[in-house]
Structure 1
Amino acid sequence: MSALSDAKSETVHIFSSLPSHSRDDLERRLVRKLDLRMSVILLLYALNYIDRANASSARLGGFEKDLHLQGNQYATVLSIIYVGFIVMQVPANMFLHWLEKPAILLPCSMMIWGVVSTLTGGTQNYTEVLFARLLLGFSEAPFFPGTIFLLSGWYKRDELAVRTTLIACGALLSAGFGSLFASGILTGMQGKLGQSAWRWLFYIDGGITVVVAICAIFILPNFPHNTKWLTPEERSLAIARLADDGYGRMDHDKRTTMQGLRNAVSDWKVWWFSVALIIDSMAMSFVIYFPTIVATLRYNTTVTLLLATPPWVLAAIAAFSFARYSDNTKKRYIYIFASNAFAALGFTISICTMNMIARYVSLFLMAQIAAGQIVLWAWVNNTFAREPAKRAVAIAMISGMSATGNIVGSYMWPLNWGPTYRYSYAISFAALGVSTAMLGVMHLHLKRLNEQIERNEQNAKDINDLQDPVGFRYLV
């Protein structure tokens, strides 16, 4: 352990002694190379969302009728996927921290969910599709927390929000362009080889997912200390720049996976974020019913799916803008608050009117909630950044527990509440208010911690007496 620490100290010393412009040039080249490799996650994320959300588009193509779904069975088909998230995300991220091979684990989980998604197209009844969706949840569970953990192992504090956004834009754009893709399949594949068009939707998307997953194995990085396509100079710089960031995020030898679990479970901030995200997920439940909500505008299936695209394109643009300003200003909560305020306005408009234009405008406003979500995950990463083992568990715990809100949200949009869905929007509005208030409390708490850290630095006689690295501050 001491030898490894000495090596890291020597690495930091070597790069700190370089002229600033030389190191900056090296760092820019490293980040560009890393960004190019990481960009494949945008495609992986898009396929992750499409495979999960296919049931929503398939609903417009006879999915419910062909499988003889009744009552709340469709809502259960949507919600069962989150059981796998709740059960598997923490063990999966703990395993990833131990294995240290995201370039293997993430694509392998992707191949499995691609196969499961393909098989979903062959289901014949409620029991079969329910089982398929349950397996889909278990196989998708490692992806989201694993991706967030991978990003935090490479990027500095003020780089995370933009990178998280660039990757998460895959989900935002797939929410829109996935509808275009679904529209083409539902229109053009009906009856091909004796199969309903909605079945082809699962066959084609699942097959594409498997092919992309195989390619991703050769593109994704692991972590700086074990990524083979880095040069020795690049590896040293990747380690040094994170050490200089003041977070100690490369100290893989300091905490075991089980210690990370204990530290995460005993930190009330993890539970606070978890409850806030559970409630926030309820507010975001409209996302999984988006085609159904757009259908209340009373257009045919093709036009409905086409109209579902523009709100998410604007959401992707807004998310990138919010994340960039969030990184530049090193602030998080204010951008989450602004994003949620737009969404709250959208909910309010939909509650108050059935005017077609006003309700379509409200969809653009509601979609802006995605920008705050992405900044929020960067904030979570920042808050638990100093211990990799704890961070792995904290991310997975928060993500897994938030899936509880998705389960509740799946039942918030029953057909008998349509076409106004006023009760659904009202519940979403209330949930958004509570989660925003809870995150505001966390914002104030972290500000107080920063003030205390600053006082400790001013009063410390010996730098070694400090509990936190000099210059360390929580992003708020």
Structure 2
Amino acid sequence: MSLDEKDVVAIKYDEVAEPSSSVPPPYAGLPDGELLASDKRPAAERKLVRTLDMRLLPTIILISIMNYIDRLALTAARLKGLEQDLGLSDIQYATVLAIVYVSYIPANIPSNMIINRISRPSYYIAACVVLWGLASALTGVCRDYAGMLVARIFIGIPEAAFYPGGVYLLSRWYTKKELAFRSAIFYSGLMISSAFGSFVAAGILSNMEGDLGIRAWRWLYYIEGAITVTVGLVAVLILPDYPHNTRWLTPAQRRLAQVRLAEDAGEADEDSKTDSAFHGLIMAVKDPKVPLFAIMSCAGLLGSGFASFFPTIVATLGYSSTVTLLLAAPPWILATIVSCTNAWHADRSAERYLHICAPYWCIIVGYIVAISTMTVPGRYVSMFLMAAGFSANALVLAWLTNAVPRPPAKRSAAIAIVNAFGNVGTMVSSFVWKADWGPNYHQSMFIGIAAIGFATFLATVIRYILAYQNKKLEREELRQLTPEEEERIRDAAQLEGITYDEAVSRRRGFRYLL
């Protein structure tokens, strides 16, 4: 920046920051900047985060629970005659389980590109929840293999908006030291759904068989789909949009929310004029960290494929379908606790690598125990270890959002790419846990060990890349900024009520979390 340009910025800043009797400098002159004053900000920021935690987190957790309950209702329905009623072979069942990802995976990227460009993501996400709830409920009327395939495809398309969109929405509100814990709470909806869904399924499948002449597994789809539609209709009133336009925050709170993220990265969390959705996609594809994260996520979810077959794996203990579903719940209750504790510590320690790899290694230990014994206590203990290790997947996208922080168009595309490619692993795992390999599933577990080992290797590579880039940041902090970076820094300075030079200084403190 030239001296003349600095003088212009200083003049503009002085015009904005004229003294005010009610708000001390440098925030005087900002019509909605009263909460940025040093004597008010700490309490106001705690209240803002608490408000978000009470509205955003419970809503997306509830949606997440219904998301995975709807997607995995098939595994519970299998225990009560779905395969026999529809005449499904083993390969057809695996195809029905996997087909949801055929529509889900391609829809991830365009969906997140849309959510980054629209002003009301609350409407978009809620509408998608209602649509997949309807598709899930209509699954109950399917009469053959073809009908199940169609129903599952139409579940996958609207579901693509939710998880990557939810992670992106979290990244637009929480700082990097708050994000891992919130992401894990969000992801815990999956684990809670595995536990809660088992209880719900056990109650419906054991008590509603033949009611009104309808099979219990069909009632399972009708009831769970109706609940999802209701949740979607309520969500539109509760979910936030973005920090600059959320209706249930005051103007001062919206300003504070924007300033928090601007300070966190040293530049405004907004796209520049040149950052279109397509440009963001191109930037994400060209960043070598993104494909590494994508392959790591794919390997991790392939190695964690037991989650999609958990009731089937628990059934190898030899109990009735009702007892099997009840026994499937406790491991996921433990997994939820482990996930939140692990993510909380990841935020407190500002560390990511070990908090992802250690749970992955827990899955490997669980597989080794399961391979070594077929006794009921040993196998059941191994299931607790596997479920607890599943918590690693909760932090992958949280680590990504720090590794690819700006601009938002790039971050939203990167989240969608990694989530989409990661679910390729989930889709492939549908064919890894073959019925022919039961009841011990040793081949499936050996594949899982290899996949998890590869995922930890890629996590190590990513850590070294980020460490190298941190050193590079230290060397290049005085380099010439690009016009896009200067624009975002100017926006941050305007939001915070500080000079451009002060904003540049804050930006130079940014480092990637390892």
Query: What TM-score comes out, normalization by structure 1 length?
Result: 0.95
Q: 1:18 to 1:248 in 2, by over 3 A?
A: closer
Q: Deviations over 1:434-470 (max 9, x none)?
A: 011111110111011112212334899x979989921
Report the residue type matching 1:26 in the other structure: A
Structure 1 alignment gaps of length 5 or more: none
Distance (Å, rounded) in 1 between the aligned partners of 2:175 and 2:504 = 22
Distance (Å, rounded) in 2 between the aligned partners of 1:10 and 1:248 = 19
Contact 1:82–1:137 (8 Å) recurs in 2: yes
Corresponding residue number in structure 2 for 1:109: 128
Deviates more, 1:132-141 or 1:17-26: 17-26
Q: 1:29 aligns with which of 14, 33, 47?
A: 47
Shift of 1:18: 5.1
Contact 1:456–1:466 (8 Å) recurs in 2: no
Structure 2 alignment gaps of length 5 or more: 1-7, 18-24, 28-32, 481-499
Q: 1:343 aligns with which of 345, 363, 367?
A: 363
Deviates more, 1:463-472 or 1:53-62: 463-472
Q: 1:245 to 1:58 in 2, by over 3 A?
A: same
Distance (Å, rounded) in 1 between the aligned partners of 2:213 and 2:115 = 43
Corresponding residue number in structure 2 for 1:434: 454
Q: 2:510 aligns with which of 460, 472, 475?
A: 472
Shift of 1:96: 0.8
Corresponding residue number in structure 2 for 1:73: 92
Report the residue type matching 1:469 in the other structure: R
Q: 2:317 aligns with which of 289, 297, 305?
A: 297
Distance (Å, rounded) in 1 between the aligned partners of 2:476 and 2:163 = 37
Contact 2:263–2:506 (8 Å) recurs in 1: no
Matches within 5 A, 1:35-434: 35-38=53-56, 39-246=58-265, 248-254=267-273, 255-434=275-454
Q: CA RMSD in A?
A: 2.5
Distance (Å, rounded) in 2 between the aligned partners of 1:380 and 1:235 = 25
Identity %: 41
Distance (Å, rounded) in 2 between the aligned partners of 1:358 and 1:26 = 51
Runs of 4 or more consecutive aligned structure 1 residues displaced over 4 Å after TM superposition = 9-13, 15-19, 462-468
Q: 1:35 to 1:466 in 2, by over 3 A?
A: closer
Contact 1:457–1:466 (8 Å) recurs in 2: no
Contact 2:374–2:440 (8 Å) recurs in 1: yes
Query: What TM-score comes out, normalization by structure 2 length?
Result: 0.88
Report the residue type matching 1:135 in the other structure: F
Shift of 1:83: 0.9
Report the residue type matching 2:411 in the other structure: R
Distance (Å, rounded) in 1 between the aligned partners of 2:26 and 2:411 = 26
Contact 1:346–1:362 (8 Å) recurs in 2: yes
Contact 1:350–1:362 (8 Å) recurs in 2: yes
How many pairs are equivalent? 472
Distance (Å, rounded) in 2 between the aligned partners of 1:376 and 1:278 = 11
**1:80 alignment partner, SS class:** helix
Distance (Å, rounded) in 2 between the aligned partners of 1:369 and 1:60 = 26
Q: Deviations over 1:341-379 (max 9, x none)?
A: 111100111111111101100000001222211122210
**1:410 alignment partner, SS class:** helix
Contact 1:249–1:388 (8 Å) recurs in 2: no
Shift of 1:60: 0.4
Contact 2:267–2:503 (8 Å) recurs in 1: no
Distance (Å, rounded) in 1 between the aligned partners of 2:87 and 2:35 = 70
**2:304 alignment partner, SS class:** helix
**1:222 alignment partner, SS class:** coil
Q: Deviations over 1:360-401 (max 9, x none)?
A: 000000012222111222101111122100011110011111
Report the residue type matching 2:511 in the other structure: R
